[in-house]
A = this chain, B = another copy of it.
Amino acid sequence: MSIVVGKDEMAAFLAEVFPQVDGMFTIERLENDLTVMRLHAHDRHLRPGGTVSGPAMFSLADVAAYVATMSRIGREALTVTTHCSIDFMRKPEAGRDVLAHARLLKLGRSLSVTDVLLFSDGSDKPVAHASLTYSIPPKG
């Protein structure tokens, strides 16, 4: 489960495949045991005032699990989210970025499972907790 696509290459890949959210997320750390993604609270995709909505937290968890998975299997592969279970536990702090800490729990031939904890920047109490499954289609 070691990383085959580094942080800069992964960032370029994200900007290419998800142009509509360009600038919304940054990869902060991409390590074997932990991926950290940042959601910029003042991005134009968010509601006025910088309050991070439930769908924005879902997006952050989803992209963090995507980066954790794709950085291992390489950008030529295709993957698609098949499941997400997310618990919203606390209200994010207004105007603060949200950080996702993603840990790949399983990388099998046909699916990956990633655990994601979300935090308001500067806090250690999680605002949300998610588990995401990506399906990895067989190579053609």
**Which A residues fall within an 8 A CB radius of B?**
19-20, 47-48, 54-56, 58-59, 62, 80-91, 105-106, 108, 110-111, 113, 115, 117, 126, 129, 131, 133, 135
- Flag if B105 contacts A89 (CB, 8 Å): yes
Per the bound structure, the CA–CA distance linking A98 and B131 in Å amounts to 21
- Flag if A84 contacts B81 (CB, 8 Å): no
- Flag if B111 contacts A129 (CB, 8 Å): no
Give the chain B neighbours of A129 by CB distance below 8 A.
105, 113, 115, 131
In this complex, which of A19, A83, A111 has the most chain B Cβ atoms within 10 angstroms of its Cβ? A83
Give the chain B neighbours of A126 by CB distance below 8 A.
105-106
CB distance from A47 to the nearest CB of B (A): 4
Task: List the B residue with the shortest CB-CB distance to A115.
Answer: B129
Given A58-B58, A105-B129, is A113 in contact with B85 using a C-beta cutoff of 8 Å?
A: no
A-B contact pairs, 10 of them (CB 8 A): A54-B81, A54-B84, A55-B56, A82-B88, A83-B86, A83-B88, A84-B85, A87-B106, A87-B133, A89-B106
Partner of A59, one of B55, B87, B115, B131: B55
Per the bound structure, the CA–CA distance linking A131 and B89 in Å amounts to 12
CB distance from A137 to the nearest CB of B (A): 9
- Flag if B86 contacts A111 (CB, 8 Å): no
- Flag if A135 contacts B115 (CB, 8 Å): no
